[in-house]
Every structure is written in C-alpha cells, then in structure tokens.
Structure 1
C-alpha cells in the first residue's frame, strides 16, 4: 500500500523541495489503504538529509496544503507522531471503488464517497494506537486553527533526547541557497574527499563576478571542474573551505578554450589571483608548495 501512496505523491502532490521529500518519506511507511503513517522529526531529518528545523517547516507547509494531517490522538512506535495523507486516501478509495464496479460489484456503488472511519484494530499490528491521555475525540491537527492553553501531550523522557545526534537542529536548506558540503562537517572543521565536495553557489557567483564564466564559458568551466576533480582524486581529505579555495585557484589559472594563453599566475600581481581573498591565496600557495598540479598541465 505504501507504493500507491508514493505514486500519488509523485503524480499528484503539489509539494516541492524538502516538503516533497518529507511527504515521500512519510508515504514510505503507509500501512494500509487508510494512508496512515508514523515518523519522528529526527528520523525524517535523517532520511531526507535535512535539518530538524527544515523538516518541521516542511511538515507545517504540508499541513497547511491539506496533503497531510497530524493525528494527535494516536501514537506510533517509539512514541512517534502519527500522520494521515487524506488526499492520497481518497484517491486510493476511489480507485478501489472503480475497480470493484468494473468487476461487477454492485455493492461498491452504494459505499459512501466520503472519508471512511479509521479502523484502529488494523493499525495496532503496526504499533499504532491511542495515546494514554487523548487530547480530544477525533482531533486532527489543523495549523490554521489557533490552539490555546497548555499542551496535554505526555512529554518524552528526558533521557531520550535526540536519537539522531548527527542531524543538525537548524540549517539553511530550501531557503536562499542549498546547504551543500555540510553533511561531512560540524562547524566547518571536518574534512571530506575532493570528489565529495560540491561547487556551492558562492563559487558560482565568484566565477561569474570575476569574469571566469565569460572567459571559459559554461562548458569550459565544467571541463575545468572535471580536470580539478581528476587531479585531486587521490589527495587526502580536506575541509570544504580549503577545497573551495583550491578550486577557485584552479579555475583562475585554467586556459580559455579559444584563447589558451590567457590565465592567471599566482604571484605575478600584488592582488590575489582571480579575485581570491588573502586566505584563499594562502591556501593555494600551500597546495602549490606541495608540488600539486596547477591545472595547466592538460
């Protein structure tokens, strides 16, 4: 049944970005045709490679769009939150009625077209059941309706904490720019292989502002990136900031395809090559001192 819920997300959901990934992750745990699932924020963050705050915002958007409901009267395995995909449930029920009518089942046409009543007996086999202290009968969380008073949810034990400590509490995913190169680092101190480093929007902006994109062209920039990755494939892992400085230095020295004599040479001018900052120029000089390829060999 989870395959039908996932297919509905792919074909009919209006969600985008992190919200779409979150909805697909929830659909992956749908138990039956009622389209009820369960998940915690930390488990969704781990599965979607997003921060907890990004997942929380994505869930709020899905609730507002009506593609997701949070069933506060139910609790899932490990006291996880229980969700329902109402639009997917309606689509599954409609397809089921149409199939029964096509098979000649006249009783299917007499079934009500509205949402069916939840069958808790079938959900218990998946570890879903009523909360010990229900908030109110048949209550479904709707963020558009303001809530008052103190929450009556039973808090999680203090020792539980965050079960996935490697998931950041906050992040910049799905905001002004993607949060690349962070799943390997904490505070920018950890290291990663050159092949795993991604060209972030800051590097793209740098290449455009300093004329390297116009000088090399889009294909030339991609070729320079491929050469850089090939030469750095066997190098020891380094912090993302070091790889970014090295990549900029490589692009600044790269030959233009139609004008092979035009490239920057570190140390020729007083200013940093290719518009690099002083820290980037220092990192490039340290890498050059290790007799590493400069990018102009090929």
Structure 2
C-alpha cells in the first residue's frame, strides 16, 4: 500500500523540495488504504537528510496546503507522531469504488468535493497505532492556520517536539525498530525543552558536584573544561527537558577523570636548565642533551 501512496505523491502532490521529501518519507511508511503512518522527527531528518528546522517547516507547509494531517488523538509506538495523507486516502477510496465492478474502469481526477474516508481505528491497532487515553475513537483534527475549519478536511497543529532517538532501519513501512525515547521524560511538558548548548547548570547540579567531591577533585577550571567537553559532545543531540540534561550532565561529570599533573622533564641541559619541550621531538631532546654534555668542560682540559 505504501507504493500506491508514494505514486499519489509523485503524480499529484504540489509539494516541492524538502516538503516533497518529507511527504515521500511518510508515504513510504503507509501500511493500508487509510494512508496513516507514524514517524519521529529524528527519523524524518535522517530520511530526508535535512535539518530539524527544515523538516518542521516542511511539515507546517504540507499541513497548510492540506496534503498532510497530524492526528493528535492517536499515538504510534513510543508515543511517536501519527500522520495522514488525506487527499491520497480520498483518491484511493475513489479508485476502489470506481473499479469495484470493472477493474479497468476510468477514474475521474480527484475533486475537492471528494470526501476523505472516516478512520477505522480498530484496524490501526495492528500497525501499532492506538487512540490516546481518554480520546474519542474518531480523532479530532486541530486547525493549524487559525481559519475556519472545513468539516471534511481540517488542518492539523504543528508536529510536537520530542527528544531525539536514534532511528532504526528503513526497510519496512511501519518499522518496529523505530527509535526508543527516554520514557522518563517523554511525557513531560514540551515548554521546558532545550538544546544542550542552551541549558545552564542549575544550582542543584552545582551543589551536587560540591557534595559529591567532584568540584574538589576536578577544581573549578577542570569542572569548566568538563562542562565545555560535555556541551561539545551533546551539541548534535535534539532538544530535551532541563531535568534530562541535568541528569546527563551529572553522569558525565562523575565519569570525568581528574586532571593529570604535568610529568617532570627528564632531559635537562648542564646547569639545571630544562630543555624546552614545545616544538621538540623526543629525538631532538636527546640530541640537545648530548650536545650540552659534549660542551661541558672536563678535568683533562
């Protein structure tokens, strides 16, 4: 069924650039004629080779064009977002109805008046898509643009921000290897999400570092260096709640090694003057020590 959905995108979608790649990535995951699929933001980023902001912008543009819906009353595996291609679903329903008696019958092009089929939520369960707790069986779709909604087809809200899991393989339209998320923080409010570079060490984390002896072990400069190293390694991670960054930062600091004292210089010129190490190889240092010894006066001179 994903083949039919992809064909509709190729032949009928008005999307371009990143938006078209996002549409094709979602269509590739569609398991049946209802044209629903679940996907995380990070998996769409990997499939399209686009940035987070580019994928988000594409999703909003597709929603405003009426080619994509975000079903906020449904959840995919690991609480991933559920999308629908409403016009593709309407087209497949129209083709099925027209060719029920004659498989070779001509099908008129899709019109705006052609209805989008109602969802059969029970059939979606076998694909890992479930209604959210407390939601109705037929999910309501929210309007993204703020205009008066069309009863037959409404625009969705922008996709929700989630923590960045690592995507699995892309071989199956509904891949069971879809990335896992940090369940401890996945249900927390999205308003607290931030990138590692924007997160600031809170007072609780500083008190923890002092109480656990890490501040005394690393020193103030060592702690700052460990913090800078942590931000460098977490710079590519997706947004997370502050509590998640705090836990990860503490674990990093706890594993950080204490600064190693500088080793003494093993080579010195006569008179106690150390051989400068900057720019000198081990061979150069040996040679400098040998030349200094040859120039030292002896008792026979």
Please classify the TM superposition score into its range, dividing by the shorter chain length.
0.3 to 0.5
Please report the TM-score for the alignment, with normalisation by the length of structure 1.
0.46
Please report the TM-score for the alignment, with normalisation by the length of structure 2.
0.46
